[in-house]
Amino acid sequence: MGKYQEIYQNSIQDPEDFWAKAAENITWHRKWDKVLDASNPPFYRWFVGGELNTCYNALDRHIENGRGDQIAIIYDSPVTSTIRRITYNDLLDQVSRFAGGLKTLGVGKGDTVVIYMPMIVQAAVAMLACARIGAIHSVVFGGFAPHELALRINDAKPKVVVSASGAVEVKRLIEYKPLLNKAIEIASHKPEKCIIYQRRLVDAELIPGRDISWNEIMAKAEPVACEPVQATDPLYILYTSGTTGKPKGVVRDNGGHAVALRWSLENIYDTKPGEVFWAASDVGWVVGHSYIVYGPLLTGCTTILYEGKSVGTPDPGAFWRVISQHGVKTLFTAPTAFRAIKKEDPHGEYLKKYDLSNFKYLFLAGERLDPDTYHWAYNLLKKPVIDHWWQTETGWPITANCMGIESFPIKPGSCTKPVPGYNVQIIDNLGKKLGPKEEGLVVIKLPLPPGTLPTLWNADERFVESYMKIFPGYYFTSDGGFIDEDGYVYIMGRVDDVINVAGHRLSTGAMEEVMSQHEDVAECAVIGAHDSLKGQLPVGLVVLKSGVTRGEEELKKELVQMIRNDIGPIACFKQAVVVTRLPKTRSGKILRSTMRKIANGEPYSIPSTIDDPSILREIEEALERIGYAKKKD
């Protein structure tokens, strides 16, 4: 039996023993009474009775162990021509003082704080400061429009919002304060205070009585110590798209989260204390939470906070420059980033300018890694290129080639094997377990390992309905796929109506809600069509109200602007086409899956439940008009 198999079997057969040993790498204020409380399934709780502080484990502990002068964060911002190196000592000073500032505003244990910031050090400081005093943070991606921010403010009900005056998106300046003001205006919940970090690139106008300058808070605040919290207390809420259009607040606890992320850095990513880890993502996404901020700092690594893109800031050599300049050992990013580099520099000419001798691994996740991109990256880098798979809900990888345990041969198209702690299975619609290479629904047998979501924020019933009720005893991933005879997992894509645009999960339902508000739209559907660069792009199909006669191009422009205003540019919504009606079942359900196959040029069978099969030809012709529905060989 190989090392991986031995560790994996132990994690599945005796999870309490496995995770108790892993928890020894975390400093506890009080040891747990019970490793796993399984008394109320599917609400499993890890390290019940234990007390700790996540910020202490990410900062204070390393300083006490002599790492104070080690670099904690390298802030690399090509869009502002800035590079800063912050030691663990410096970071602790900023975090403890900002935590003190939050306390002066009445923020304490159990209160919520929304963080709406770009990729700057202050975003990480705000997150860690909340953790330090037991407050619950909810980071909202800075690219979201006011409507989406307002939804999250209403659900999280923050006492304070922390934001910045603006950001640079490649070369475009985005002012955050007007977006924040609009969100608070339309939100029913009104935060008591807003802390604004003024960046030199844009000055925000503060509202007297509500808004406070970050620098003012920091100048007056006294540093505060860590507040121990229960292992089962929430650390953060992170909203992910729901199929209804209403975002779901994924909850992350303190204890299981710290244990799982600390374990994952060394065992999955083979990155040890003192080494440089770079997740090229955003703090607004789960990758940013787990592997820009918490995972590397819990491990005692140096992490990189990069305010830029893979191309255009300034060129396709941007990633190679960062890896070379900062001695990166492990890079984790999305396949989209590498498809963009490949498009701009197909022969890798920019790579030749840089020394990547310290670079060891490229990990890719966020969407399926297509074999073409895998081969291109591997042939260029001559380093392991590792596809791995996980979700906002799980918080850390479900499947991977665990490089810190045992390296397996790579099979392009597969995200390798289940990570210890995850009992991944393939079942059919009736819940029957399928055999090797039989494609079905991907589920994880309960209990889920530590660090995964214990529930949704103030929505236990929705948690059960969304993930647990469909197949009792299993967590339903909403993905389809299969496992081969060697135990390699293949994830083939979503089986619900959430699409993946450049690694960002976006609800088609939310886009449909926006489009349906147009005065000329009677009915609409949004599907995810394959895109070679971004993975998927949303395409709208629109039925006009009776008597409306207007140009398709004019309507498309208006719908694109509506999506941009309400959801944000991140949706990448650029295509809409008018049809006389949408294909439906006799019960009235729109056949989105069938339309998605038509758009992607895939073979499809006419569903037996369809009310009128002739409509599918019109859908084909409409999608052909905008460049889709081309048959694949």
User: pLDDT tens, 158-187?
Assistant: 999 999 999 998 888 999 999 999 999 999
Angle of the 615-625 helix axis to the 592-599 helix axis, nearest 10: 40
pLDDT for residue 506: 75
State the Cα–Cα distance between residues 167 and 589, nearest whole angstrom.
42
What's the angle, vertex CA 488, arms to CA 482 and CA 491, rounded to 5?
40
Helix (H, G, I), strand (E, B) or coil at 60: helix
Amino acid letter, residue 161: V
State the Cα–Cα distance between residues 104 and 571, nearest whole angstrom.
38
The band of 547, judged by pLDDT with boundaries at 50, 70 and 90, is confident
State the Cα–Cα distance between residues 428 and 222, nearest whole angstrom.
58
Q: Please, which residues have CB within 8 angstroms of residue 413's CB and are 6 or more apart in sequence? A: 368, 369, 370, 371, 374, 490
Q: Please, which residues have CB within 8 angstroms of residue 83's CB and are 6 or more apart in sequence? A: 74, 75, 76, 77
State the Cα–Cα distance between residues 27 and 188, nearest whole angstrom.
40
Ranked by mean pLDDT, which of 100-104, 526-530, 627-631 comes out on top? 100-104
pLDDT for residue 169: 86
The pTM assigned to this predicted structure is 0.86
State the Cα–Cα distance between residues 577 and 625, nearest whole angstrom.
8
The band of 587, judged by pLDDT with boundaries at 50, 70 and 90, is low
pLDDT for 242 beyond 60: no
The pLDDT tens digits of the residues spanning 72-97 come to: 999 999 999 999 999 999 999 999 99
Structural contact between residues 411 and 437, judged by C-beta atoms closer than 8 angstroms? no
CATH classification for the domain delimited by 498-625, as one of 3.40.50.720, 1.10.10.10, 3.40.50.150, 3.30.300.30 = 3.30.300.30
In the chain, residues under CATH classification 3.30.300.30 are 498-625
pLDDT for residue 588: 60
CATH classification for the domain delimited by 3-308+388-477, as one of 3.40.50.720, 3.40.50.12780, 3.30.2350.10, 3.90.470.20 = 3.40.50.12780
The pLDDT tens digits of the residues spanning 369-379 come to: 878 889 999 99
Structural contact between residues 166 and 173, judged by C-beta atoms closer than 8 angstroms? yes
Find the mean pLDDT for residues 314-334: 97
Structural contact between residues 64 and 238, judged by C-beta atoms closer than 8 angstroms? no
> Average per-residue pLDDT in the chain?
93
State the Cα–Cα distance between residues 177 and 537, nearest whole angstrom.
29
State the Cα–Cα distance between residues 82 and 76, nearest whole angstrom.
6
pLDDT for residue 254: 98
pLDDT for 613 beyond 90: no
Find the mean pLDDT for residues 219-232: 98
State the Cα–Cα distance between residues 292 and 389, nearest whole angstrom.
17
Find the mean pLDDT for residues 45-63: 98
Position of tokens 């390699």? 488
Report which of residues 101 and 583 the model is more confident about. 101
pLDDT for 341 beyond 60: yes
Count CA atoms closer than 13 A to 612's CA, side-chain side. 10
In the chain, residues under CATH classification 3.40.50.12780 are 3-308+388-477
Q: What is the DSSP secondary structure assignment for residue 352, as one 8-state letter?
A: G
